[in-house]
Amino acid sequence: MIDAIEEFSRHLTDVRRLSRATVRAYTADLRDLNEGYLLEEVDIEHLREWLWKATQRGDARSTIARRAASARAFFRWAVSAGHLTSDPSARLQSPKRGRPLPRVASADAMSTVLDAARAVADHGDAVALRDAAILELLYASALRVSELCGIDLDDLDRDRGTVRVTGKGSKQRTAPYGRPAQLAIDRYLSSGRPVLVARGTGTPALFLGARGGRIGSRAVYDVVSRTVGPAVGAAALGPHALRHSAATHLLDGGADLRAVQEMLGHASLGTTQIYTHVSAEKLTQTYRLAHPRA
């Protein structure tokens, strides 16, 4: 079997022209599968046991999926090259890769972050006032960073505590925000934004960069990474983490899933349902820590 694996590796390089990294990965997988078997001795049960051992070893789902792909590609080639008369991998299934759960800050961590941002803003610095308002609104309204950057002054309804945003597919929606966000926005509009807008040429944008123009997503990312990242132990944490956190905390607090879907601007309820998995995982962790029979 080892001779066939080497021939297959040359086929991947010379005929299919796959990258060196891909060829190395496929070859390593197949050498692990070899274990001294003759090529014609390998059957579906052997292949399933091989993947099961990888699972027991703790290999990631993506790694196991690649190993299955390596085996299928190899045995298809072996049949086409005349080394085998039938493909033992024809019924070999890959594990579903699974959608990774989003990183979520706890409600206590968010409270600490927002309180700290407000305390820094108390000194009256224009950028600090802006940053506090950005953090409050991102978390309060579960906004995408592009939606936040696109907000103009007339998109705010300060009487109703809502903001109009333009999401994916240029679809507009109205999102609510609470009293803390309102206070942070009011302070920014009265004392922070006038300082920043004086540095530019004038723009209707709500949030401005240091030079007075509409703020960009990179600057918002830096604000979140610098303030929220340390609180949750993540070196690279972007604005989407606040959207994830807000959605999870809403569901934890008893909000209706469809109401959260509407607030987030998800076209599909299935997209919103990932946050129910986050809540369920949190419940499971709590159960294991607290229940005497867990």
Catalytic residues: 144, 168, 240, 243, 266, 275
Cα(292)–Cα(288) distance, integer angstroms: 8
DSSP bridge partners of 223: none
SS (H, E, C) the chain: CHHHHHHHHHHHHHCCCCCHHHHHHHHHHHHHHHCCCCHHHCCHHHHHHHHHHHHHCCCCHHHHHHHHHHHHHHHHHHHHCCCCCCCCCCCCCCCCCCCCCCCCCCHHHHHHHHHHHHHHHCCCCHHHHHHHHHHHHHHHHCCCHHHHHCCEHHHEECCCCEEEEECHHHCEEEEECCHHHHHHHHHHHHHHHHHHHCCCCCCCECCECCCCCECCHHHHHHHHHHHCHHHHCCCCCCCHHHHHHHHHHHHHCCCCHHHHHHHHCCCCHHHHCHHHHHHHHHHHHHHHHHCCCC
Burial 184-222 (b: 16+ CB within 10 A, else e): bbebbbeebbebbbeeeeebebbbbbeebbbbeeebbbe
